[in-house]
């Protein structure tokens, strides 16, 4: 696909920036005084994941799109990251819900979600966890 896809939209972040964003996240995570910057970087990570999911959806791979979004929303929705109330987490979770619907997966079908997450992550993902899905995109 087009390398700039997703980045051209207002506020979009190209998935190719994930390695740099994750390096910044690691850097800022070590310094309490940078908590606002850390939250900002984490929000950008989720924007990049949403762009990557958009690419998968554009290729009609709704299961992969949903799994990427679900995994990232779970990981970054944890209290140690951004928390479930953060706008970037809420946007990612809402996008995941829509993508599951497009993929034909019912809201409560945790087995189907687990299988899709496992396929996207390339490893078994404990129920309710993100499976390090963001690292898979780097």
For residue 129, what are the domain limits? 16-136
Q: What is the pTM of this model?
A: 0.90
Q: Please tell me the predicted confidence (pLDDT) of residue 69.
A: 98
1 is a domain residue: no
Q: What is the pLDDT of residue 12?
A: 87
**pLDDT tens per residue, range 66-78:** 999 999 999 999 9
| 3-class secondary structure per residue, the chain | CCCCCCCCCCCCCCHHHHHHHHHHHHHHHCCHHHHHHHHHHHHHHHHHHHHHHHHHHHCCCHHHHHHHHHHHHHHHHCCCCCCCCCHHHHHHHHHHHHHHHHHCCCCCCHHHHHHHHHHHHCCCCCCCCCCCHHHHCC
How many domains does the chain contain in total? 1
* Cα separations in angstroms, 91 against 122, 127, 134: 25, 21, 16
For residue 58, being part of any structural domain is answered with yes
Residue ranges for the chain with pLDDT beneath 50:
1-8
Residue 6 lies in a domain: no
């Amino acid at each position: 696909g087009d390398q700039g896809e997703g980045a051209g939209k207002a506020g979009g972040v190209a998935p190719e920036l994930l390695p740099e964003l994750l390096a910044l996240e690691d850097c800022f995570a070590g310094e309490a005084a940078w908590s606002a910057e850390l939250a900002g970087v984490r929000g950008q990570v989720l924007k990049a994941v949403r762009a990557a999911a958009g690419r998968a959806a554009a290729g009609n791979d709704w299961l992969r799109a949903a799994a990427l979004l679900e995994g990232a929303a779970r990981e970054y929705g944890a209290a140690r990251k951004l928390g479930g109330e953060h706008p970037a987490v809420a946007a990612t979770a809402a996008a995941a819900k829509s993508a599951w619907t497009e993929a034909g997966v019912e809201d409560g079908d945790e087995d189907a979600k687990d299988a899709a997450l496992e396929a996207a992550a390339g490893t078994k993902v404990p129920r309710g966890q993100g499976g390090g899905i963001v690292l898979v995109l780097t």
